[in-house]
Amino acid sequence: MKCRKCTRSAVINMRQHKLALCSEHYIEWFTFQTQRFIQEYQMFDLNNRLLVAVSGGKDSLALWDVLHHLGYQVDGLYINLGINHKTSYSLLSMQKAQTFAHAQNLDLSIVDVVKEEGAAIPEAANLTLRGRTKPCSICGITKRYFMNRIGLDHGYDVLLTGHNLDDEVAVLFGNTLNWQSGYLLRQSPVLEGSAEGFIRKVKPFFRFYERETAAYTFLRGIDYIQDECPHAIGAKTIYYKEVLNQLETKRPGLKLNFYLSFLKAKAEGLFSPEAHIKIGDLHPCENCGQPTTAPQFCTYCRMWEQVRSTKSSLV
Ligand code: Q46
Ligand code: ZN
Ligand code: ZN
C-alpha cells in the first residue's frame, strides 16, 4: 500500500480515517492533528506553562515529545510509586522517563512516594486494604494528589496526561454500564481548574487510537517501558478494551464515534434538567396520530411509506 501523500510505501493504514501514510508523513500528520485538537478544544497556548505527567510509557512520552517539537514550554513529572516487587516496574519506568528527558534536555521533577509517605503503594494497599483489593484505588488517589499539588505549587497553568482514545472509551464504557452519572459528568478532555484548588487538566491525545500513539513513539525511536504495571493484570478496563476492539474490527471508527457522540450529547444537555424539555417536545404524527418528535410523520409511518413506495416502484 502506498502513502496517500507521496510514492513511498505506507507504514500505517488507519481504516477508521481511510488514510495510509509513510513514516515521514505519519509523523507530520500526528503532530498536525495534536495541534488541531489543542486548538479545537481550547486546551492551552504557547504562553502557558505546562506540566505533563509521565509514566515512562508510550503515550506520555509521545505527548511530551510532540509538544516539545510544537514549541510549547512543557516540563515533566514522574511519580515513583515504588512498585518493584518481582518486576522492578517503577524503577525501569523511571529510568525511561529520565533517559528521555536527558536526551531532549527537558526538565523532569520526580516525586518519590516512599520518601514522601514512608511506604510504597503496594505496601500501603496491604496496610489499609489488607490485600482484599488491588492497590489501584490508593495508587490513583496518590497520583492525582501529587499531579495537582506539584502543578499548583510550582505555578503551572495546565496539567496534561497522555490518555488516548482507547483509555477514554474504556472508562466511558465502564461508567455507562454502571450509569455512574457523577463520573460521566466529569469525564471530559478538558477539566477546568477551580478556585478551591484544582489545576486545569487536559488530555490532548484523547482522539488518537492507541495504535496511533504507539506508531508515533515507534517511528520517532522513543524508548519506553513496554510492560504494564503488574497490578493492571485482570483490570476491568483491559477487558473493556478487548471487547471494544472486537466491535471496532467489525465497524472501524466505532470507538471514536462512541466517544465523540457522548461529548456531543453532554454538550446538548443530556445530563442537565433542561434535557427533559426535549422529551416533552412531542406532537401527534400527521398520518397516524401516534406521538412523535419528528416534524411531520412518525418513524413508523415514514418507514412503512418507504417500504410501500419501493415495492410499488418494483412492479
Ligand atoms: S493504578 Fe493500578 Fe495503574 Fe497504579 S497500581 Fe499499577 S495498575 S499503576 S494505571
Ligand atoms: Zn509519504
Ligand atoms: Zn490533604
Report the distance separating Cα 42 and Cα 300, nearest Å. 42
CA 269 distance to own-chain centroid:
22
**Which three cell numbers, joined as nine digits, stand for 137?**
484505588
Average pLDDT over residues 179-200: 91
Amino acid in position 218: F
Percent with pLDDT over 90 in the chain: 75
Give the model confidence (pLDDT) of 231-282 as tens digits.
998 889 999 999 999 999 999 999 999 999 999 999 998 887 665 545 557 7
- Rounded distance from Cα 54 to ligand 3 centre (Å): 23
Could you tell which of 129, 171, 231 is best to mutate to test the pocket of ligand 1, judged by most ligand atoms within 8 Å of the CB?
231
Tell me what the mean pLDDT of segment 7-14 comes to.
96
Per cent of the chain over pLDDT 70 is 96
Q: Is residue 284 within 8 Å of residue 290, measured between CB atoms?
A: yes
Residue 302 C-alpha cell reads as: 415514514
Distance 149 CA to ligand 3 centre (A): 10
In the chain, where the domains are located: 31-281
- Band (pLDDT 50/70/90 cuts) for residue 294 is confident
pLDDT at 277: 45
pLDDT digits (tens, 9 = 90+) for 96-151: 999 999 999 999 999 999 999 999 999 888 887 665 667 898 899 999 999 999 99
Residue 190 · residue 202 · CB < 8 Å = yes
What pLDDT is recorded for position 290?
81
Closest ligand to 149 CA? 3
Per the CB < 8 A criterion, the answer to whether 89 and 229 are in contact is yes
Residue 32 has a pLDDT of 98
Ligand 3 centre to CA of 115 (Å) is: 17
Report CA(15)–ligand 2 centroid distance (Å). 17
Q: Which residues contact 202 (CB under 8 A, 6 or more apart)?
A: 41, 43, 44, 158, 159, 160, 161, 189, 190, 191
Q: Please indicate whether residue 232, judged by its CB atom, sits closer than 6 Å to ligand 1.
A: yes
Arithmetic mean of pLDDT over the chain: 92
How close is the Cα of 18 to the center of ligand 2, in Å?
A: 15
Res 137: pLDDT: 86
For 113, the 3-state DSSP assignment is helix
What CATH number has the domain spanning 31-281?
3.40.50.620
Q: Is the CB of 103 under 6 A from ligand 1?
A: no
Atom of ligand 1 nearest to the CA of 229: 6
DSSP for 134-188, written as a single string:
-THHHHHHHHHHHHHHHHHHTT-SEEE----HHHHHHHHHHHHHTT-HHHHHH--
Q: Give the model confidence (pLDDT) of 18-58 as tens digits.
A: 999 999 999 999 999 999 999 999 999 999 999 999 999 99
Q: Give the number of the atom of ligand 1 that is nearest the alpha carbon of residue 143.
A: 4
